[in-house]
Structure 1
Amino acid sequence: MSNLEEIDNFSKIFKANLPLLDVRAPIEFSGGSFPQAENFPLMNDSERHQIGICYKEKGQNSAIQLGHELINGTLKQERVEKWLDFVSKNPKGALYCFRGGLRSKITQEWIYEESGVSYPRIKGGYKALRSFLLHEMVRITNNKEFIVIGGQTGCGKTMLLNEIDNSIDLEGLANHRGSAFGNNVSPQPKQIDFENNLSIELIKKESFSQLLIEDEGNNIGMIHIPDSIKLKSRDSKIILLTASLEDRLRISLKSYVIDMEIQFKAINLEKGFENFSNYWLTSLYKIQKRLGGDRYQSLLTQLKLALKNHQNNADINDYLPLIESLLVDYYDPMYNFQINNKKHRVIFKGNSKEVKKFLEKN
């Protein structure tokens, strides 16, 4: 069926959030995909493995024949029905396999034979989309003005970015808050997924004259910041967000205590507080060497008191001395040292309201 449609306007695919039917094997999908994609494979992992061996030993025709032997009858019908359900729910979508070759063509043909619908496939498949996104990340980054939002830990940088349309929330995309206490309840994405999602955000926001990102190091948790973003950040102007210690304590208490407990209990009510406690104990342990033995033990004692009062009396006030010490004695000195090396790039300094007003005028 040579008349089945191919799509090669990749920018439109991502700007329009085009629903994508990924027919690769589950192991391929889990290794990297796109936010708007769902996986309904032509072959499962075992079938793909068997057909791959056959292809290497006996060639393409034998591999195709084996594929039809493995996937037929009721099994074939079940898979086609899943595709048809996806097509029905997403009539303006498209499908792809790894290279846009045989698997996506077969899927197209089976969908057409069953429903009469000519559902388009992505030209070049996942590999072409991935290459396009990597290229666009570098191109847009190199041609776009960036402004870096800096500020002390707990001053609300992420909150500010989420209130501004022309911002890229790197920590949100990485699902991590960028410190020893930055783990979230759900795991971080794979590096490939982070890069894909970041590039898609850049494509969607390319129309803005400038983009705002938070001041980050080389990594956010286990996620590596792509070199193009990292290098651009190092050369960009900086706006410093300020907040009172009282506000920083309030923001930190909400983010790292109140919200984290809610999230842990939402996943497992019975073990929620135990998991929340382990999150705090593990996070503090990560920085024990930097804290030094005596200070670590002092903070650990305060943490255990806070956890006990939290669990027994629903009182979270004992976290405040602990958070204040971490902010003032641990994070602030590191921040002050780092920002001192960047002060020549600072173009404005102010609280959230002042920063937003400055950005509106500039």
Structure 2
Amino acid sequence: MAEQLISLDDFWSLRDQLPMIDARSESEFAQSNIPGSYNFPILNDEERIVVGTLYKEKGSEEATLKGFELVGPRFHLILKAVLRKFPDKKIIVYCWRGGMRSQILSWLLTMVGFEVYRLTGGYKTYRTFTFNSVRKQRSLLILGGKTGTGKTRLLKELQVRGEQIIDLEGLANHKGSSFGSIGQQPQPTVEQFENLFAEELRQLDASLPIWVENESKKIGRTILPQEFYHQMLAAPLIDILKTEQERIALIAEEYAILPNDELIMAVLRLKKRLGGLRTSQAIEAIVDGNHEAWISNMLIYYDKAYSFDLEKHALGRTIQLNLCGIDTETSIKKLLEAKTHLYGKRTN
């Protein structure tokens, strides 16, 4: 069967129906890819260097011949692997620019009866879209509050109620503190984070406000797009208030079950900021299982950091919302009332 070239607009409708193959090398795929795609390299990392060097030194024809010399002996292996993985024989393929590597893969697959859709412009076209998407102007509503106020839980509950949210920490696989990586999957690269971020934004109505948890510019090793971060600083912020005991109880619920050695390592990463005495006290409390003690110790540092971060937000755009002793249902009601006050009665 002949391949069909598809635009990015065509791609969006097909990608929910068909699997995707990335024909780039393993390191290119690991750096970033279209989420949900599978990697079947036409040229691996070492071969790609050889072909690239030859292209620069001797031109396209020599490089092309070398490429076929390197990958030709593997054609049957690639075909067998793809046939095992995708017996329905319908597939989307792409490479960096929609050029030689995806063309070769498409040709191979059509030879054994695959219905192939090749993305025009390749991954570069997709990446241009995601890069621009996460930097567009949005209507944002920032959910703030000191550590332990349950912002992420409230964000998820707002989503259940039909509100538009973006869970930046979920996309980054990090909870945004020295303790934030414990129990999480490895973080995506900055580029892949933006791809995941754009995929989420694409599902939302751009005319309606989006709830976002207040974050620093960095979430672990992930860096927010500068344009989006500046939008967050300028957007209305609802600053949730909870009692210290409520906050300690929530943090203990999430972190007291984690391994002591990982908690201690997280404390040690803050040693320069905490000082020797407080660091020792926190570690001793962790070893003794005195969770209230080490958590309250950490909150001294995190509360100061939050106050400093709060000062970066636009003047007059912060609303304090007292949720002390209030259940989730009432808290959500109050948050939605605050949203109506800020954005009117536009609904999702």
Compute the TM-score of the two structures, normalised by the length of structure 1. Answer: 0.82
Give the structure 2 partner of residue 315 of structure 1: none
| Inter-partner Cα distance in structure 2 for 1:345 and 1:14 | 42
When residues 89 and 345 of structure 1 are mapped into structure 2, their CA distance, relative to the original with a 3 A threshold, is farther
Give the structure 2 partner of residue 25 of structure 1: 25
| Inter-partner Cα distance in structure 2 for 1:121 and 1:62 | 25
| Inter-partner Cα distance in structure 2 for 1:164 and 1:181 | 25
| Inter-partner Cα distance in structure 1 for 2:210 and 2:36 | 23
SS at match of 2:153: helix
* Aligned pairs (5 A) from 1:34-49: 34-49=34-49
| Inter-partner Cα distance in structure 1 for 2:27 and 2:312 | 45
| Inter-partner Cα distance in structure 1 for 2:11 and 2:63 | 34
Match status 1:162 vs 2:156: yes
Check the 8 A contact 2:147/2:303 in 1, yes or no.
yes
Check the 8 A contact 1:175/1:188 in 2, yes or no.
yes
Match status 1:239 vs 2:215: no
SS at match of 1:153: coil
Matching residue's letter, 1:126: Y
When residues 359 and 248 of structure 1 are mapped into structure 2, their CA distance, relative to the original with a 3 A threshold, is closer
Give the structure 1 partner of residue 303 of structure 2: 332
Residue of structure 2 aligned with 1:300, choices 256, 274, 283: 283
Give the structure 2 partner of residue 282 of structure 1: 265
1:174-210 per-position Cα deviation (integer Å, ceiling 9, x unaligned): 1111112212333211111111111111111135611
When residues 348 and 208 of structure 1 are mapped into structure 2, their CA distance, relative to the original with a 3 A threshold, is farther
Corresponding residue pairs, total: 328
* Aligned pairs (5 A) from 1:105-124: 105-115=103-113, 117-124=114-121
Give the structure 1 partner of residue 169 of structure 2: 171
When residues 225 and 13 of structure 1 are mapped into structure 2, their CA distance, relative to the original with a 3 A threshold, is farther
Compute the TM-score of the two structures, normalised by the length of structure 2. Answer: 0.85
Residue of structure 1 aligned with 2:318, choices 319, 326, 346: 346
Richer in helix (by share): 1
Check the 8 A contact 1:10/1:129 in 2, yes or no.
no
Check the 8 A contact 1:175/1:184 in 2, yes or no.
no
SS at match of 1:35: coil
| Inter-partner Cα distance in structure 1 for 2:157 and 2:18 | 26
1:89 to partner: Cα distance: 5.4
| Inter-partner Cα distance in structure 2 for 1:175 and 1:319 | 24
Check the 8 A contact 1:7/1:120 in 2, yes or no.
no
Question: Please, which runs of 5 or more residues in structure 2 have no aligned partner?
Answer: 341-348
Check the 8 A contact 1:25/1:42 in 2, yes or no.
yes
1:61 to partner: Cα distance: 2.0
| Inter-partner Cα distance in structure 2 for 1:322 and 1:210 | 38
| Inter-partner Cα distance in structure 2 for 1:102 and 1:346 | 53
Check the 8 A contact 2:172/2:187 in 1, yes or no.
yes
SS at match of 1:99: coil
When residues 164 and 13 of structure 1 are mapped into structure 2, their CA distance, relative to the original with a 3 A threshold, is farther
Check the 8 A contact 1:25/1:43 in 2, yes or no.
yes
SS at match of 2:148: coil
| Inter-partner Cα distance in structure 2 for 1:58 and 1:194 | 37
When residues 89 and 224 of structure 1 are mapped into structure 2, their CA distance, relative to the original with a 3 A threshold, is farther
Give the structure 1 partner of residue 344 of structure 2: none
Give the structure 2 partner of residue 270 of structure 1: none
Out of 213-222 and 159-168, give the one that drifted further: 159-168
When residues 17 and 133 of structure 1 are mapped into structure 2, their CA distance, relative to the original with a 3 A threshold, is farther
Structure 1 residue runs of 4+, over 6 Å off? Answer: none
1:222 to partner: Cα distance: 1.2
Give the structure 1 partner of residue 129 of structure 2: 132
1:110 to partner: Cα distance: 0.9
Check the 8 A contact 2:274/2:301 in 1, yes or no.
yes
Identical columns (%): 30
SS at match of 2:4: coil
Question: Please, which runs of 5 or more residues in structure 1 have no aligned partner?
Answer: 262-275, 307-317
| Inter-partner Cα distance in structure 1 for 2:330 and 2:303 | 22
Give the structure 2 partner of residue 224 of structure 1: 223
